[in-house]
Amino acid sequence: MTTPEILAIAATIAGVLMAAAPFLQIRRMLHTRSSRDVSLLYLSLLEAGFVLWLAYGWSIGNAALILSNLASISFMTVTIAFAVAFRRGKGRGQRLPVPAPETEEATSGS
């Protein structure tokens, strides 16, 4: 196997793993039961970039670009769908309680 082939495989694997990163945002939305702190414009711009990179990869026949950007588009679409669902009230339930900050009196035992 040549160096470019090894790098292509490594880049594809890294790209797919990075594509899964938006699931961390989904995890946060599920925990907080809100997508209020998520920028839909930012996510949409990222997805548009993925579409352009996919088109470029397709035009030059580069499998690493095609696979990693297909994964990115898929994961980002799911993330955007979750954010929109939470904004429309689906998935909104009771918010999880946020612990009150500890005060010096509470920790000193007085």
CATH code (residue 61): 1.20.1280.290
Q: Are the beta carbons of 75 and 23 closer than 8 angstroms?
A: yes
Q: What is the pLDDT of residues 7-23, one digit of tens each?
A: 988 988 998 888 888 88
Can you spell out the DSSP letters for 11-71? HHHHHHHHHTTHHHHHHHHHHHT--TT--HHHHHHHHHHHHHHHHHHHHHT-HHHHHHHHH
What average pLDDT is seen over the chain?
Answer: 85
pTM for the full model?
0.71
Query: Residue 22 burial (CB < 10 Å; 0-12/13-18/19+)?
Result: buried
- Indicate whether 64 pLDDT > 60: yes
- Mean pLDDT lowest for which of 4-8, 26-30, 42-46, 106-110? 106-110
Looking at the structure of the chain, the number of domains it has is 1
Asked if the structure places residue 33 within a domain, the reply is: yes
pLDDT, residue 104, reads 60
The domain in which residue 50 lies consists of 3-92
Asked if the structure places residue 63 within a domain, the reply is: yes
How far apart, in whole angstroms, are the C-alpha atoms of residue 56 and residue 41? 23
- Indicate whether 96 pLDDT > 50: no
